[in-house]
Structure 1
């Protein structure tokens, strides 16, 4: 019925006496000379329109008019737009809801596609497969052996040493492009990321890791080229803090193999920076088998190496142009690939 009344009559409804309002209503209806079924159709259209209108927009003020003469009261609903306060409140709710949905969706995406970025439990991160984010029983056994070894406990008790896991600092998306953190990792290879202890000044470094049977050159014997790769990376990482831009490339690497390195064993690499001149650093190191718990002395010497590391002249400018400099510098191979 409200759709058939003039706007002026509806707005004036609150100031018109009930009897006068009833007279005006009946006069308006008779003047339009419309049958009752048209009023019913109009009411049905109004109902369907209101049914599809959002609930917060369906705001009406109901006016009741008594026509007298025993007739039932006439009720008229006048649509009123929501107030500024309600509009502002609904807008704020939608904005906050959108922010919540985007944030929640981002967290779900990280859980699915980048689990390493949100895992905070250090024990879980260290035993995690770098590429697939999973750990089998053998990998967990290797990790537990390293974590509980007396030599590791000895390094942890030394206040001058800092415990790190450099391969875990490399972003997940970059690990497949880093040889020792990507292709060479996994069960029966380098099962867990090397556990590294360094003095933070570029003078000495210790790395403990396990080498599996898929890294062999001959059956049961680790490939000499793999051992050279491990020594190259470890010696370079040892001297990084002593150089101006904390990065260098290998200029020379000399290796003397002293004994075969058997597969499926734990090894320890000991490195020491012997000399630093500007952008140059000389480093020496040893690769030994990790002694059994309770054994006295060092493990068996497997090879000795010395290297000359040189920081490129333009590396400072390059490192300033590359975003996330710290994560790129976590691995010497990653930095060299970027250079």
Structure 2
């Protein structure tokens, strides 16, 4: 059996768009999306009564997705993650079943054309990395140490995510028992016509098991 390695021509390799859309332009674009405005308004309302969420600090640098994979043609825009964590959960209670206390996060991203695996389609490994990172961020907040590690990540790719797409990743805590926390993550395709997740295509979904190890004090943010 002979395996042929095909080297693409220079013309085939030059698939990135020459035009670079600035982060400021992308920010102006997402401000017109009804679903984005919905969550901004919801966040302001939520944090008016759940003040502890306002103390959450994002740490993106140095970071694979916040530096190496960030920029024109890559993760061209990344919103501030909106955390909807009821003050109840900052008491670090056990979570054995879904309840009325919010415990999720929302992040909006624009994924550029340098992130492809198959041409025109965002690499599945990139989506898995984003899901791993974002589910862990909300999961960690349910541990008093605010730290942990991924023990298991199961990803289901429902539909291809095309490059230059706007997506929203929602991460929801499902359960927490002792040093273990289970979180699900969903990647939705969004645009200026969508007003709710019910109207959006679900592109990728995952469930992750996060563990706060006994050696957690050795972990650095």
Q: What do the CA deviations read for 1:261-320 (whole angstroms, capped 9, x no partner)?
A: 00001001111101001211001121110143365643111111000000121223x36x
- Residue 217 of structure 1 is matched in structure 2 by 117
- Residue 29 of structure 2 is matched in structure 1 by 145
Q: d(CA) in 2 for partners of 1:166 and 1:259? A: 32
Q: CA deviation at 1:163?
A: 7.7
Q: Say which SS state the counterpart of residue 46 (structure 2) adopts.
A: coil
Q: CA deviation at 1:200?
A: 3.3
Q: d(CA) in 2 for partners of 1:255 and 1:198? A: 22
CA 284–310 in structure 1, closer or farther in 2 if over 3 Å, else same: same
Q: CA deviation at 1:149?
A: 2.2
Higher relative contact order (CA 8 A, sep 6+): 2
- Residue 273 of structure 1 is matched in structure 2 by 173
Q: How does 1:46-57 map to 2 (within 5 A)?
A: none
Q: Rg larger in 1 or in 2?
A: 1
Q: How does 1:320-335 map to 2 (within 5 A)?
A: 335=221
Q: How does 1:37-76 map to 2 (within 5 A)?
A: none
Superposed CA RMSD: 2.4
TM-score between the two structures when normalised by the length of structure 1 = 0.49
- Residue 46 of structure 2 is matched in structure 1 by 160
CA 231–294 in structure 1, closer or farther in 2 if over 3 Å, else same: closer
Unaligned runs of 5+ in 1: 1-135, 320-327, 329-334
Q: How does 1:168-317 map to 2 (within 5 A)?
A: 169-170=59-60, 175=61, 177-201=62-86, 203-293=103-193, 297-316=198-217
Contact 1:265 1:289 in 2 (8 A): yes
Counting matched residue pairs gives: 179
Q: d(CA) in 1 for partners of 2:115 and 2:76? A: 11
Contact 1:289 1:301 in 2 (8 A): yes
Q: How does 1:14-93 map to 2 (within 5 A)?
A: none
Q: CA deviation at 1:147?
A: 3.2
Structure number with higher helix proportion: 1
Contact 1:164 1:197 in 2 (8 A): no
Q: CA deviation at 1:231?
A: 0.6
Q: d(CA) in 1 for partners of 2:55 and 2:32? A: 16
Q: d(CA) in 2 for partners of 1:143 and 1:163? A: 22
Q: Say which SS state the counterpart of residue 304 (structure 1) adopts.
A: strand
Q: Say which SS state the counterpart of residue 72 (structure 2) adopts.
A: coil
Unaligned runs of 5+ in 2: 1-19, 48-52, 90-102
Structure number with higher strand proportion: 2
Q: d(CA) in 1 for partners of 2:191 and 2:55? A: 21
Q: d(CA) in 2 for partners of 1:141 and 1:166? A: 25
